[in-house]
Amino acid sequence: MNAKNSMQDIANLLGISKNAVSLALNHKPGVSEELRSRVFEAAQQLKYRTESKARKKQNHLLVLFPESVQNDKNFYYEVFWSIEKRAKENGYTAIISGVTKDMERLLILPDLYHEFAFSGILLIGVFTPAYVSKLRELETPLVTVDHCYDGLQLDSVVTANAEGACSIVSHLIQKGHRQIGFIGAGSMSKSFRERWFGFTNAMSDAGLAIDRSFCLIGPNKAASPDDELASFLEAMSGQSPWPTAWFCANDRLAISLIQHLTARGFHVPDAMSVVGFDDIEAAQMVRPRLTTIHVQREQLAFEAVDLLLRRIEKGGVPSKISIYGELIERESCVKVEVGV
């Protein structure tokens, strides 16, 4: 099938003019991004390849991330850098592209996808299931990083959230803490739910009751996580006793909690211990320095690239790889007398 006929076939399939197809395929103005995406999808369906795309090398990996994490310098920067490093070691180039909320809603692929022939795709962070299903339909090897999707059997590399949470809560229990609170969020993400599950497992294994009034897991009625935390602590102000320790679902919440407790006259860790999860850079800058679970970000990235390359080269059935975190003990957690 030659290019001239293929272009007309695309136009016929979509019910648009051949000129519109040409504008879309050549990345010229005059057509919407939604239509451009539909044209390229039709081109793929008809096994049509533009000359420019055919000339591109095949050893490219597309790395997609949602706009919600584009300014995250704490967690995802190291993941991106490590993906680029591992890809390069294996003769591949990792090309990173953001996906806006509108692109997700309209199921639009990034322009980069149409400019290069990608051997595989890595998804960083959390996308809508509909968008992930759209990417899956491309039949390009796909690996999700730091998140897996219930109901979609996809290759994924994730942090062992439940196990890490169980480990750090067990650490608090070993230090004599019996009244332990959990700080999550009103609308908890999958990783937060897994960390809550690890918290409940550790408490259950130790034969300890969970006081739900010590746990921030209900509906979020505040404008921001910080406001939500402030409202939660305000509602607890009349309670007695308070927990002797708190497990926070990530370090940002733990740092915010330390600041709120300090403002209320509680000294951390003498009055209450606080621990987190992730080990972002700020965990070592806050005072007291934060006891937390170090997420192996470099290893997450390396394993994701390695898994994707195995699928590209050898195929296989989908699998899920969990990377254990490491407990990092600092000054925000102290031992108390059993029974306190």
Domain ranges of the chain: 1-41, 161-295
Cβ pair 182, 174 in contact under 8 A: no
pLDDT higher than 60, residue 55 = no
Percent of the chain with pLDDT over 70: 90
pTM: predicted TM-score of the whole model, two decimal places: 0.81
pLDDT higher than 90, residue 187 = no
Q: Which CATH class is domain 161-295?
A: alpha beta
- Whole-number average pLDDT of the chain: 89
Note the pLDDT tens digit of each residue in 102-150: 999 999 999 888 888 899 999 998 999 999 999 999 989 999 999 999 8
**Other CB atoms within 10 Å distance of the CB of residue 41:** 20
Distance of alpha carbon 37 from alpha carbon 267, whole angstroms:
56
pLDDT of residue 52: 46
Note the pLDDT tens digit of each residue in 254-274: 999 999 999 999 999 999 999
Q: Mean pLDDT across the stretch 208-229?
A: 83
Distance of alpha carbon 93 from alpha carbon 114, whole angstroms:
16
Domain 1-41 has CATH 1.10.260: yes
pLDDT of residue 4: 46
Identify the band that residue 11 occupies on the pLDDT scale cut at 50, 70 and 90.
Answer: confident
Identify the band that residue 94 occupies on the pLDDT scale cut at 50, 70 and 90.
Answer: very high
Which of 30-39, 134-143, 292-301 is predicted least confidently?
Answer: 30-39
Cβ pair 321, 287 in contact under 8 A: no
| Same fold yes or no, 1-41 and 161-295 | no
More confident residue, 35 or 266: 266
Residue 15 φ/ψ region, left for φ over 0, alpha for ψ in the -120 to 50 degree band, beta for the rest: left
pLDDT of residue 237: 84
Structure tokens at 213: 């009034």
User: Residue 316: which residues within 8 A CB-CB, separation 6 or more?
Assistant: 310
Identify the band that residue 57 occupies on the pLDDT scale cut at 50, 70 and 90.
Answer: very low
pLDDT of residue 240: 80
Percent of the chain with pLDDT over 90: 66
Which of 12-26, 140-154, 161-175, 217-231 is predicted least confidently?
Answer: 217-231
